[in-house]
A and B are shown apart, each in its own frame.
Chain A
Amino acid sequence: AQSVSQHNHHVILSEAASLELGCNYSYGGTVNLFWYVQYPGQHLQLLLKYFSGDPLVKGIKGFEAEFIKSKFSFNLRKPSVQWSDTAEYFCAVTRNTGKLIFGQGTTLQVKP
């Protein structure tokens, strides 16, 4: 079945550690890729998106993601996390209708 998979369900890091969250999708053809973040009790906010062009995408708050077409992956990275990055992170894909297909989400807990 076509899907979006996030490998890590729960990640615990200390401040200043580096972060990489995995995301793979199984759709063929052209896709648009997104990472959203949901801070506790808040709505989803867009971190970054990839539509075309440079496969290394920079987003807000120091996050970046790399689209690797051959691996069907769109992993999220941040060199040095902060306590305020504690949140749930969702990878998502759209095709031509705009509906988002989400991964299961990854809960990131950053210890001060």
Chain B
Amino acid sequence: NAGVMQNPRHLVRRRGQEARLRCSPMKGHSHVYWYRQLPEEGLKFMVYLQKENIIDESGMPKERFSAEFPKEGPSILRIQQVVRGDSAAYFCASSPQGDGNQPQHFGDGTRLSIL
């Protein structure tokens, strides 16, 4: 059990639909990071959030992608009008601090498949 909970583990969507990926950080962690792993590639940073704030979204595509981490509840990565190129594994990680001095703990990921 990684402690970081992601769901669903697998998600299948048709082109044009919306995908919602959820991430509950480890207890006591208020910093959440989302990464994307495309086939045959390494993980790429997407967005870094703290409770109710987006700290760094430099890795997010400019359109269709959004993320939030509300005061209550999990962090959500939302992809609107999905396309085939969105097929990937999306990993969430959490950390007690956001300064890079604590290792991040990863969830099992959500494998998104676009038909």
A95 to B100, CA, bound (A): 6
Contact, CB under 8 Å: A97 / B48: yes
Contact, CB under 8 Å: B42 / A98: no
A100 to B101, CA, bound (A): 11
Chain B residues closer than 8 Å to A105, beta-carbon distance? 41-43
Contact, CB under 8 Å: A104 / B42: yes
CB distance from B75 to the nearest CB of A (A): 15
Chain A residues closer than 8 Å to B25, beta-carbon distance? none
Contact, CB under 8 Å: A99 / B33: yes
| A contact residues vs B (CB 8 Å cutoff) | 32, 34, 36, 42-46, 49, 51, 90, 94-105
| B contact residues vs A (CB 8 Å cutoff) | 2, 4, 31, 33, 35, 41-45, 48, 55-56, 59, 91, 93, 95, 97-109
A100 to B97, CA, bound (A): 13
Interchain Cβ contacts under 8 Å between A and B, 19 examples: A43-B91, A43-B108, A46-B105, A94-B100, A96-B99, A96-B100, A97-B98, A97-B99, A97-B100, A98-B31, A98-B98, A98-B100, A99-B56, A100-B93, A100-B104, A102-B45, A104-B41, A104-B42, A105-B43
Contact, CB under 8 Å: B43 / A43: no
A104 to B44, CA, bound (A): 9
CB distance from A49 to the nearest CB of B (A): 6
- Quick one: given A34-B103, A42-B108, A43-B108, are A98 and B44 in contact (CB under 8 Å)? no
Closest chain B residue to A41 by CB distance?
Answer: B108
Contact, CB under 8 Å: B107 / A99: no
Chain B residues closer than 8 Å to A102, beta-carbon distance? 35, 42-45
Closest chain B residue to A36 by CB distance?
Answer: B106
- Quick one: given A43-B106, A51-B101, A95-B100, are A103 and B42 in contact (CB under 8 Å)? yes
Contact, CB under 8 Å: B101 / A32: yes
> What 19 additional pairs, Cβ within 8 angstroms, besides A95-B100, A97-B98?
A43-B2, A43-B106, A44-B93, A45-B106, A46-B103, A49-B103, A90-B43, A97-B56, A98-B31, A98-B99, A98-B100, A98-B104, A99-B100, A100-B33, A100-B45, A100-B104, A102-B43, A102-B45, A104-B41
